[in-house]
Structure 1
Amino acid sequence: MDRLDSVDWLLEQAVGAIAQTYQAECALWSHIDQRAGRAQVHATPGFWDELAEGISTSNLSELSDAETSSDFETSARLFRLTQLPLWLTDQWRSPQMVQLASGSLIVPVVSPEITLKLETPGWQGSLQLVLELRRPLQPTPSMESSDAAVALFSTTIQGWTEAELQSLKARMAELGLAYGMVYWHDKLEQSRQHMAMMGRMAHLLNSRLVPDLVVQEMLAELGQEFGSDRVLLLHLTQHVDVVADWARTEPNDPEPLSSLAGWRDAADLFVQDGVSYLWIEPLSDTTEGLRKLLHQLQASSLLLVPLFLQAKFFGMVCLITTDAAHAYALETVQIVSQTMDYVAIALTQLQGYQTPLPWLDSNGVLAGTTMYESDRDPLTHCLAREALDRELKRRSSKALWIDQPPFSLLICDIDYFKLVNDSYGYPVGDSVLKTLAARLQHHLRKETPIYRYGGEQFVILLADTSLELAVEVAERLQQSIRGVSFAAPHGSIQITTSLGVAQQDPNRDTTAWDVLERAEAALLDAKRHGRNCVKAL
C-alpha cells in the first residue's frame, strides 16, 4: 500500500490483500455510527448474498464495485447499511476479538487514545474498523444466528492458528494507523473545501450581484459541495413558497412543491420543539407527513435546516438526495447551519433594498451608476420604460416578492391628450408633458420614482404603501394638476388626468407585472367613468 488516495481506496485494497493472504472471505466494516445505526462494508463475494438478502433492501445500498485483483474471490464491493447487526453493536460497546456462531472471526480496530492509565488491560480508544473473516469450510447461516459470540478470548477461537491470530492483530494495527492517517487527511481536505466554500459565499455577499441571485448561487454552492441533487429554500408563513431552487438536472415534480403537507410538520418541529435539523430517510423515526414528503420528492434522504431572520422563523433549506448511497455526515449539518447566516444576510439585504435602486445588467450585476443618473427619458427627465421593467423584475424575485412590504403602482394618463397635439401642435404637447412631469415630482417625495410609461402615461411606484394611502396620493396629484394652466401660443389650456391604482397582493399576484396590469385595468375604469378621477383595484 504505497499509495493512499482515499479511505475507500485504502479499505478496498486492504480487503483484497487480507482475503488473498488468509484465504478467507473478508468483510471490513467502517464509518460505524452507533447512534445513527450506520456503517459501510467492503466485502468479498462470499458476503454479498448475505448482506443483500439478510438485510432488507431498504437498509442496504450498493455503492460501487472495485476489483482489487484479477481473481473474483478478492474483488471488493462496497455496501452501505442503515441498520447494524447485534454483534456489531456489542463490538461498539466492548471491542474484542471473538468468533461468532456463524464461524466468522471478528477483529476490531480501535483508534489509540492518550490515557493516564497505561496499565489498564484491554482495548483503549474508540472503534474505527471491524474485520470479519470466514474460511470457506465454515458455515454461513443467516445474520440473525450470527449475533451470539461463542468465545470471548482468542484461545477458544476455532479454525485459526495462534500465529494467524497474532499476524491479524499486527496487520489490523497497521491498517488502523493507515486508516487514521488517510481519514484525517480526508477530513482536513474536506475542511479546506468547506472553508473555501464559506469564502466564496462571503464573496457573494460582497459582490455586485443582486441579493436574489446571491441566494441562488449560495444554494448552488451547497448542492455542489455536499453532493446533493437538489437544494430548496422555502419560506413558510400562511403559505409555503419556494424562494429559490437549484437542481443538477431539470426536476420533474409530479405536484407543486408548495402543496406538499410535510413542510408544515418540519416547521412545527423547528419552531415548537426547537429541533436544530431534520435528517429524513425511509426508516427514520419521524412523522408520517415527513415520510410522505420523502416519497413525494422521490428522494432517498432529506436534510432540512431551519432559517431564521433576526430571530424570526423564515423557513428552511432542504438538501435532497436521490442516491441511496449518499449520506450526510454530522459536520455537513454543522456547515449547512453556518451557511444559513449568510443566506439570512442576503435575504435581509434583499428585503431592505429601497429606491433609488441600482440598475441591473443582463446578468443581474449592479451597474456602476444608479437609475437616477442615466437612462432617463430625454423629454421629461423621468425614468425610462426600461427602468420600470427592471424594477418590476427585481420586485418579482421570489425572495423579495413573498416577504417585502406591500407596494402600490399608480398610472397617470392625460385626458384627451391627442386633442392637445392636434389643436396646438407637438411642441405644445411636449411642453405639457414636461410641465406635468415636473409637477408630479414636486408633489412626491424626492426618492419616489416616476417612470414615463409611454406617450402621455406615467407610472409612479410607492414603496411600502397600502392601497388606501396610494389612493390618497393619487387624488392629491390629480387635484394638483387639475387647477394648473398650461401655456399655449394663443393663451393657456387646462388639462385633467385619470389615475389607476393597485397594491401588490402576494395571494393574487405572482409578479409585479400583475400589479401593473391591475393598475391599467383601474385606469380604464376611471376613463369609463368620465375621466378626471381616480379608481383603484
Structure 2
Amino acid sequence: MNNKTETGALDEPVMELRLHSFSEELRAQLTALTSAQQPKAIQRLGEELDELGQWLNERYNELIRLLEISTELNKGILLDDILVRIYTFFKDIIPYERIGCALIDDDGENVTAYWAKFTYATEPKISKGYSAPLEGSSLQAIIDTGKPRIINDLERYLERHPESESTRRIVAEGIRSSLTCPLLADGRAVGFLFFSSTKKHTYDGLHQEVFLYIAAQVAHLIEKSKLYEKIVGLNQRLLAANQQLREQASRDALTGVFNHGAIIEFAQQKLNRAMRVPFGIVMLDIDYFKQVNDTYGHIQGDLVLRKVAATIADEVKPSDRLGRYGGEEFLLLLNDVTEEQVLAVAERVRAAVEHVEVPTENAPIRVTISVGATYVPPEAAVSLTEILQCADEALYRAKNNGRNQVQLGRL
C-alpha cells in the first residue's frame, strides 16, 4: 500500500519492474512446458487474463464511483443532509430498500436510532429515538472487530437469538437481510449504518473493504456535522439570549411595557418611513396619582401603575406599542388608523381604566386617566417633537377641563 500514489496508481518505475518480473516468470513457465502442453496452457492463461481484466475493470469502476460518492457526501454539512445523500447515491454500489443510522450516545452506554429512509409502505417499527444498551449486544461485537456484519437470513437469525428486540422489530417491517457497518472516526465508534433488504441473501459476496472505506468517510462526516450542529445550536441560543437582553433593556422594569427610550424610538422609526401609513400618538396620565402615593404608599402606587398599564395593553392591537413615558404617564402608538379610530381607541382605554380596582385592606383604589390624542396623516411634514407637543397640549386641556376625558390635538 505504501507504493501507491494518492490516486491509487503505482509509481512508473515500480510498475515497470513488476511487469518485467511477471514477463520473465511467465516465459520460464512456458519454456518448462512440452510442445503439446503449451497451446492449452496459453489458452487457459488467456481465459484467466480475461477474467482478471474483467475483475480489474469492475474494481476500477467501483473505485471511481466511490470517489464520486465521497465528493457528494462532502457537500453535505448537516447530518440529515449527509444521510439523504447516502440514500441517494449508494444505490449503484449496494442494493437496499432501507437505510438506517444509529448514533452512540455521548456516554457510550446506549445506541439510539437517529434516521431511516425506506422504499416500502410498511409502518416503521424502529423509529427515531428508539434506544438500546450497547454493552453486551451484537453491535458491540461489530465495534470490537471493526468489520461490517452481514446477516443474510434475519428470520433464521431471530430464531437463534429470540432476545434481540431490534431484530424482531426489523423483521416485522419485512426486512430479511442486512449489512451493518460500524462508523469509526479515528478509531472511536460513533454509530452504525444499516443497509437492509426485503430479500434474503442480498449481501452474499459483497466486498466488505468497500463499505469499510465508505463507513470511515461517513463517520468523519458525522463528527463534522454534529460539531457544526452544536455550533449552530449555540449560535441560535446566543442570538436568542441577545434578543432577550435587548428586549429586557427596552422594557420598563415596573410595568413591563416599553420604556421611554424604546417607545420614542418606535415613534421615530414610524415617522421616518418613506412609505408611511397613518398613525396616532396618545398620551395618558393617571389623575391625582400623587394622592394615591400619599394616601396608600408607594407599594400600592406601584400596583396601580402595573394595573393601569396592563389594562391599556389589553385594549389595543398587538401591532400597537405602549410605553411608560415617565412617572404616571404613558405613551400609546397606534398603527394604521384614522382620526376617528384614534379617538375611539383613546375613549375605550379611558373607560376601561375607569373601572380598574386595586384591592387594599380597606376600600379598593380606583383611578381615572386624562388623555391627549394626535392623528398623524401620511403626508404630514412634522417632527416627532411637534407631534409629542401637540399630544401633550391636548392632554393639558383634558386635565384643565376636569380630567377623566379625551382631547384631540390636530397638527
Give the TM-score of the pair, scaled to structure 2.
0.42
If asked which structure has higher relative contact order (CA below 8 Å, sep 6+), I would say: 2
* Greater Cα radius of gyration, structure 1 or 2: 2
Q: Identify, as 1 or 2, the structure richer in strand.
A: 1
Give the TM-score of the pair, scaled to structure 1.
0.34
